[in-house]
Amino acid sequence: MTGGALAELHDRARELLDPVHYDYFAGGAGEETALAENERAFQRLALLPRVLRGQSRPATPVQLPGARASTPILVAPTAFHRLAHPDGELATARAAAAAGTVLVSGMAATVAIGEVAGAAREVDRNAAVWFQLYLQPDAKITECLVRRAEDAGCSALVVTVDSPVFGRHGRDHRHGFHDLPPGFAAENMRDLPGSPGVRDIEMCQEISWRYVEALRRMTGLPVLLKGILHPEDAKIAVDGGMAGLVVSNHGGRQLDVAPAAIDALPRVAEAVGGRIPVLVDGGIRRGSDVAIALALGATAVGVGRPVLWGLAAAGEAGVRQVLETLRDEYEHVRTLCGGVLAGDQVVSRC
Ligand SMILES: Cc1cc2nc3c(=O)[nH]c(=O)nc-3n(C[C@H](O)[C@H](O)[C@H](O)COP(=O)(O)O)c2cc1C
Ligand SMILES: CCCCCCC(=O)C(=O)O
């Protein structure tokens, strides 16, 4: 459940969406424990403000691989935006660009990456778009997707590594929702080698660090790994030359017994030791959640479902409202905290 100032947009989205599509967006894996924990974990945390710091006006730009964002609040990759709004990923891209932040556009987008990046650049010619991908068992397919992202001008690749198989989503199973409706397609998967039409995205348990290394050799783009929870995996990623990590349990849609992303963040941040940026997503619903994540060592955060609610409720304007609200709340909280956010300011409410 979305709380705070964004609750109304969530309610509006629920009213407007086909209930099957609403449940696809809202739902999680298994008993939805990880999904609920992502939000609950923030409720268990509080911030100790510092005082008398003589602050200047809050400016919160952040340097990221291939992007300088004006805010540490990014759009996380989510699939199938045209199920939420006819403009789909084009609206999301325009809103992210207007907010001066990075859109991580999904491989499972319903608009091809070239058009998505073009829409962002029409708003701001320096807009940064990253491309999220699932490494495919056939290296030729992965390579073709990478070239499409490069040709579109994407400035980084985000490889999602938490999905050796697709999570079991009870809501989708109950609705019999297994395929996109007619007229919708995962457009990045169109006309790939060896497949006329739209190829399926494959999730493959044979994918290993060897595939990540092969990807690194394939491209000059910075590569971030998304879905890291274990500090040892974070160390392997740093040693393997990754440009950044996203601490994430995939919004509670993969391993249901996974911890809340915010609870996993401190150990990952410690293992990385500032060598590369560490992002986190999962359960970010308020500016204070952003502040807590940054205090615990995140460079920036990703926002998933709230962006989808904004998109469903009001298209581009709705996504802008989500990003602007979170940014405004975050800057306010940061100022009230004395303009600094550090680990020793985070305390437990219990
Ligand atoms: C409907 C939906 C689709 C998603 N699709 C993808 C995807 O294609 N690739 C990916 O890496 N993550 C995907 N995610 C996970 C998000 O990138 C992100 O990790 C998650 O939504 C963050 O949690 P939040 O929704 O609580 O903000 C998806 C999440 C949702 C809710
Ligand atoms: C086999 C289709 C893959 C779509 C991926 C969407 C996704 O990651 C999700 O959580 O949903």
Delimit the domains of the chain by residue range: 7-348
Helix ranges restricted to H, 187-256:
209-218, 231-239
282 Cα–ligand 1 center, Å: 8
SS3 state of residue 68: strand
Q: Which atom of ligand 2 is nearest to the CA of 201?
A: 1
> Looking at ligand 2, which residue's alpha carbon is closest to its atom 6?
79
Helix ranges restricted to H, the chain:
7-16, 19-26, 33-43, 88-98, 113-123, 139-151, 170-175, 209-218, 231-239, 261-272, 287-295, 305-336
- Nearest residue to 81 (alpha-carbon basis) of 96, 100, 69: 96
The two most distant CA atoms of the chain are separated, in Å, by: 64
Instruction: Indicate if the pLDDT at residue 1 is higher than 70.
Output: no
What would the mean pLDDT of 267-288 be, rounded to a whole number? 98
In this prediction the pTM is: 0.98
* Closest ligand to Cα 26: 1
- Nearest residue to 168 (alpha-carbon basis) of 252, 108, 226: 252
- Nearest residue to 282 (alpha-carbon basis) of 290, 274, 272: 290
> Residues 326-337: pLDDT tens digits?
999 999 999 999
Say whether the ipTM exceeds 0.95: yes
Q: Which atom of ligand 1 is nearest to the CA of 305?
A: 25
Q: Which atom of ligand 2 is nearest to the CA of 108?
A: 4
For every residue of 101-167, DSSP letters joined together read --EEE-TT-SS-HHHHHHHHHHH-TT--EEEEEPPPSSHHHHHHHHHHHHHTT---EEEE-S-SS--
Choosing among 3.50.50.60, 3.20.20.70, 2.60.40.2470, 3.40.50.970, the CATH entry for 7-348 is 3.20.20.70
201 Cα–ligand 2 center, Å: 8
pLDDT band at 251 (very low <50, low <70, confident <90, very high): very high
Marked catalytic residue, from 10, 81, 169, 250: 250
Alpha carbon separation from 266 to 22, 230, 303 (Å, rounded): 32, 11, 19
pLDDT of residue 267: 98
* Closest ligand to Cα 251: 1
pLDDT of residue 341: 96
The dihedral formed by the CA atoms of 237, 231, 254 and 301, expressed in degrees to the nearest 10? -80
Instruction: Indicate if the pLDDT at residue 2 is higher than 80.
Output: no
What would the mean pLDDT of 330-350 be, rounded to a whole number? 95
Name the average pLDDT for the chain: 97
Q: Which atom of ligand 2 is nearest to the CA of 160?
A: 8
> Residues 12-45: pLDDT tens digits?
999 999 999 999 999 999 999 999 999 999 999 9
> Residues 54-96: pLDDT tens digits?
988 777 899 999 999 999 999 999 999 999 999 999 999 999 9
> Residues 175-228: pLDDT tens digits?
999 999 999 999 999 999 988 889 999 999 999 999 999 999 999 999 999 999
| Pocket (CB within 6 angstroms of ligand 1) | 24-25, 38, 76-79, 106, 108, 132, 160, 226, 248, 250-251, 253, 281-284, 302-305
Considering Cα of 86, then 89, then 91, then 92, what sign does the dihedral take? positive
Identify whether the C-beta of residue 317 lies closer than 8 Å to the C-beta of residue 112. no
Burial (CB count within 10 angstroms: exposed 0-12, middle 13-18, buried 19+), residue 220:
exposed
Local structure of residue 297 (DSSP, 8 states): T
> Looking at ligand 2, which residue's alpha carbon is closest to its atom 2?
201
Judge if the beta carbon of residue 108 lies within 6 A of ligand 2: yes
User: Is 250 designated active site?
Assistant: yes
* Closest ligand to Cα 23: 1
| Most ligand 2 atoms within 8 A of CB, residue of 38, 78, 141, 166 to mutate | 166
What would the mean pLDDT of 277-289 be, rounded to a whole number? 98
Instruction: Indicate if the pLDDT at residue 350 is higher than 80.
Output: no
Please state whether beta strands 62-64 and 67-69 pair in parallel, antiparallel, or not at all (unpaired): antiparallel
